[in-house]
């Protein structure tokens, strides 16, 4: 449970540290919110979810525009966050694969959590860790 909360905390910090606008995939001027907005969303989501990691993750990703209960994680938006690795297409494939493999439309929080664990099990997980080490 502590490890799961740590991973969720790392994801939240990652999301706080990145700001960009997406237009290449047709998403009109989507931006990650300010640090203050993310912190407010995180606090709100933690309170709503009573500390349960899956519900907190889904709530936060949904509020930040990175999750849809219909499609799962928005792979293109997440891939742009890691564009410096020059493997956006690969990351999109991994996220889409994990969305499809773990799909549970009747249990969206469990779907979000399982898809997140799937996607971060490999290279993407290392990128998240590297990013966190660099911003400390």
Express each pLDDT in 88-128 by its tens digit. 888 899 999 999 999 999 999 999 999 999 999 988 888 77
Supply the DSSP symbol for 30. E
For the chain, how big is the Rg over CA atoms in Å? 14
67 backbone dihedrals φ, ψ, rounded to 5°: -140, 145
The answer to whether 105 and 72 are in contact (CB under 8 A) is: no
Phi, psi of 18, deg, nearest 5: -120, 130
Helix (H, G, I), strand (E, B) or coil at 13: helix
Residue 99's H or E segment, with its range, is helix 88-101
The pLDDT score that the predictor gives to residue 77 is 87
The mean pLDDT of 68-83, rounded to a whole number, is: 87
Q: In 90-104, which positions are buried (b, 16+ CB within 10 angstroms) versus exposed (e)?
A: ebbebbbebbeebee
Q: Which residues lie across from 68 on neighbouring strands?
A: 72
What pLDDT is recorded for position 108?
97
Which residue, among 127, 101, 119, has the nearest Cα to 57 in the 3D structure? Answer: 119
Query: pLDDT, tens digit, for every residue of 8-55?
Result: 655 655 554 444 333 444 445 777 566 677 778 888 998 888 879 999
**Is 0.75 surpassed by the pTM of this model?**
no
Asked if residue 20 lies in contact with residue 81, where contact means CB atoms within 8 angstroms, the answer is yes
Q: Residues 65-89: what's their mean pLDDT?
A: 84
Q: Hey, what domains does the chain have and what are their CATH numbers?
A: 2-135 (1.10.238)
Higher pLDDT, 17 or 86: 86
- What pLDDT does residue 64 have? 84
pLDDT reported for residue 23: 43
């Amino acid at each position: 449970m502590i490890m799961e909360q740590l991973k969720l905390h790392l994801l939240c910090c990652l999301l706080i540290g990145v700001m960009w606008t997406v237009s290449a995939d047709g998403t009109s001027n989507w931006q990650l919110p300010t640090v203050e907005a993310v912190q407010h969303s995180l606090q709100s989501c933690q309170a709503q979810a009573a500390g349960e990691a899956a519900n907190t993750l889904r709530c936060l990703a949904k509020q930040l525009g990175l999750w849809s209960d219909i499609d799962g994680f928005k792979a293109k938006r997440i891939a742009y966050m890691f564009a410096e690795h020059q493997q956006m297409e690969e990351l999109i494939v991994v996220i889409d694969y994990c969305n499809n493999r773990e799909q549970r439309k009747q249990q969206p929080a469990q779907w979000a959590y399982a898809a997140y664990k799937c996607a971060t099990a490999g290279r993407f997980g290392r990128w998240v860790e590297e990013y966190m080490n660099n911003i400390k």
